[in-house]
Amino acid sequence: MVLIEQADVWLFRLLNLHLVHPAADDLMVFITTSSLSGHILFLVALFVLIRSGKSGLFIIALALLSLGLADFVASGILKPLVQRIRPCFALDHVRLLVNQPHSYSFASSHAANSAAVASILWIFFHRGVLVEKLFTLIMILYALAISLSRAYVGVHYPGDLLGGMAIGAGSATLTYLLFSWVVKNIIQPRLMRHARSD
């Protein structure tokens, strides 16, 4: 565990102190700002509805459910359970580029939430036409950028980000599997019984 902790700190300092540039500072602050998320989610929902029609509402609902689950696990369970101090408060000489309240560090809810949405979109669109594949790739890259920005601006260790991304992907997978089970075992049988009765 000591070696893992040391590697985590080393990677954090690499991202926060060495792989930096003034132009990247502005970009990372912009990406990590939560007010941007609403605009991105709106554009994502618009794309999903245009490409999938009414069934896009189910995709949006699954994305929101997986986001909510990921956020609950990361912020509601793991942060108070692990109680890891953020690097900006635990380490010296950290470049803190954003205002940060004294909340716990593991796991990153930004990483978890963005990975959850990107994972749901990947499940539904990665086998589609070229524009859908490009959309999926862009959303995955955007989720990765959000995660990396959290270390760059000084508020999360890389381990927090990996944990958050795993939580997001797991939440999306669980949400999709539960939805598929409900459709297969409850909704479809009822529709078939209703069709036979007509």
Which residue pairs from 77-85 have beta carbons closer than 8 angstroms and sit at least 24 positions apart in sequence?
78/106, 78/107, 78/163, 78/167, 79/103, 79/104, 79/105, 79/106, 79/107, 79/109, 80/104, 82/106, 82/107, 84/157, 84/160
- Under the banding of pLDDT at 50, 70 and 90, the label for residue 161 is very high
Side chain identity at residue 125, one-letter code = F
Q: What is the mean pLDDT of residues 68-80?
A: 96
- Under the banding of pLDDT at 50, 70 and 90, the label for residue 137 is very high
The H-assigned helical ranges of the chain are 2-13, 22-32, 35-52, 56-71, 79-82, 87-90, 109-125, 130-152, 158-182, 188-197
Query: What is residue 99's predicted lDDT score, i.e. its pLDDT?
Result: 86
Side chain identity at residue 123, one-letter code = I
CATH code reported for the domain at 37-193:
1.10.606.20
Q: Are 79 and 132 in contact (CB under 8 A)?
A: no
**Domain-wise residue ranges, the chain:** 37-193
Q: Is 128 helix (H, G, I), strand (E, B) or coil?
A: coil
> Whole-angstrom Cα distance, residue 150 to residue 120?
22
Query: What is residue 34's predicted lDDT score, i.e. its pLDDT?
Result: 67
Token pair listed for 117:
């949405």
Query: What is residue 198's predicted lDDT score, i.e. its pLDDT?
Result: 59
pLDDT at 93 over 70: yes
Q: Give the burial string for 56-80 (b: 16+ CB within 10 Å, else e).
A: beebbebbbbbbebbbebbbeebbe
Query: What is residue 87's predicted lDDT score, i.e. its pLDDT?
Result: 94
Angstrom CA distances, 123 to 106, 117, 143, 165, stand at 26, 10, 15, 16
pLDDT at 36 over 80: no
Q: What is the mean pLDDT of residues 128-144?
A: 94
The string of pLDDT tens digits covering residues 106-120 is: 999 999 999 999 999
- Under the banding of pLDDT at 50, 70 and 90, the label for residue 38 is confident
Q: Give the burial string for 29-44 (b: 16+ CB within 10 Å, else e).
A: eebbeeeebeeeeeeb
Token pair listed for 172:
């999306």
More confident residue, 84 or 40: 84
Q: What is the mean pLDDT of residues 3-9?
A: 92
